[in-house]
């Protein structure tokens, strides 16, 4: 019998946390993995926590990139957090509730958004709003917390290159999936000298 806690629904998709954990645990340097869901219903996402093999250095962005090639887009965790050890419950099992409480906070409310500061950031935010049917998008808004997934991320990077001339790899994007993060990585293109006319 399957553990009901291991099967969850994320934005209409049924997600098997056990499959997420197996994919993450199969990444180099990962000793063990646990996946949990956190966030309000419309903002709920999967978070993965890992404990590394002794002496291993696990790169969260690398794990996400690898897992994105193995699982359906809606199975891919929003983020990966590396722990020294697992929090345990009174009966000695991994405390999933404690892990959920350790998950990164959800996206900030619209009233607390920091507006895009440059023409480049405004252009990227505009693409996100169109692709995700979301708004407003701030410079620190997280693509995945706004409802994006790995498939949408690939479409987004393709749209940025095609429409705006911005080039960024998927793994680079995953390491800091914010408007500001994109423009920081490609600042030779996304500087204050960005010409709005390229739109």
The pLDDT tens digits for 117-142 are 888 888 888 988 888 877 678 888 88
Adjacency order of strands within the sheet including 30-38: 30-38, 45-52, 79-83
Q: Could you say which DSSP state residue 20 is in?
A: H
The DSSP code for 163 is I
Longest dimension (CA), the chain: 62
- Helices then strands, each counted (H, E), the chain: 7, 5
Tell me the two tokens of residue 61.
Answer: 């962005």
Entry pTM: 0.56
What are 139-160's pLDDT values in tens digits?
888 888 777 887 888 888 898 8
Place of tokens 């999967």: 46
At residue 193, what are phi and psi to the nearest 5 degrees?
A: -85, 5
94 versus 41: the higher-pLDDT residue is: 94
User: What are the structural domains, with CATH classification, of the chain?
Assistant: 4-102 (3.30.300.30), 110-198 (1.10.1200.10)
Tell me which residue of 129, 130, 126, 137 sits closest to 166, measured CA to CA: 126
Strand pairing category for 7-10 and 13-16: antiparallel
pLDDT beyond 70 at 197: no
> Confidence class of residue 163 from pLDDT cuts 50, 70 and 90?
confident
pLDDT for the residue numbered 186 = 66
pLDDT over 50 (residue 84): yes
Say which residues have a Cβ less than 8 Å from residue 149's Cβ, sequence separation at least 6. 73, 74, 76
Look at residue 113 in the predicted model and tell me its pLDDT: 63
Tokens of 145: 């917390």
Those residues with Cβ within 8 angstroms of residue 110's Cβ, 6 or more apart along the chain or in another chain: 136
């Amino acid at each position: 019998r399957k553990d009901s806690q291991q099967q969850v629904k994320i934005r209409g998709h049924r997600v098997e946390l056990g499959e997420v954990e197996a994919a993450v645990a199969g990444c180099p340097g990962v000793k063990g993995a646990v996946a949990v869901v956190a966030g309000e219903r419309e903002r709920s996402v999967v978070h993965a926590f890992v404990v590394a093999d002794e002496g291993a250095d696990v790169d969260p962005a690398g794990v996400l990139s690898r897992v994105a090639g193995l699982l359906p887009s809606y199975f891919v965790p929003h983020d990966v957090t590396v722990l020294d050890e697992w929090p345990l419950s009174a009966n000695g099992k991994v405390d999933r509730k404690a892990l959920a409480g350790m998950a990164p906070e959800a996206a900030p409310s619209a009233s607390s958004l920091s507006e895009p500061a440059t023409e480049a950031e405004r252009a990227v935010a505009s693409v996100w709003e169109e692709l995700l049917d979301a708004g407003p998008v701030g410079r620190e808004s997280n693509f995945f917390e706004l409802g994006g997934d790995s498939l949408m991320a690939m479409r987004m990077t393709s749209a940025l290159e095609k429409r705006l001339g911005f080039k960024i790899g998927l793994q680079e994007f995953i390491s800091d999936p914010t408007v500001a993060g994109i423009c920081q990585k490609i600042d030779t293109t996304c500087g204050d000298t960005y010409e709005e006319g390229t739109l």
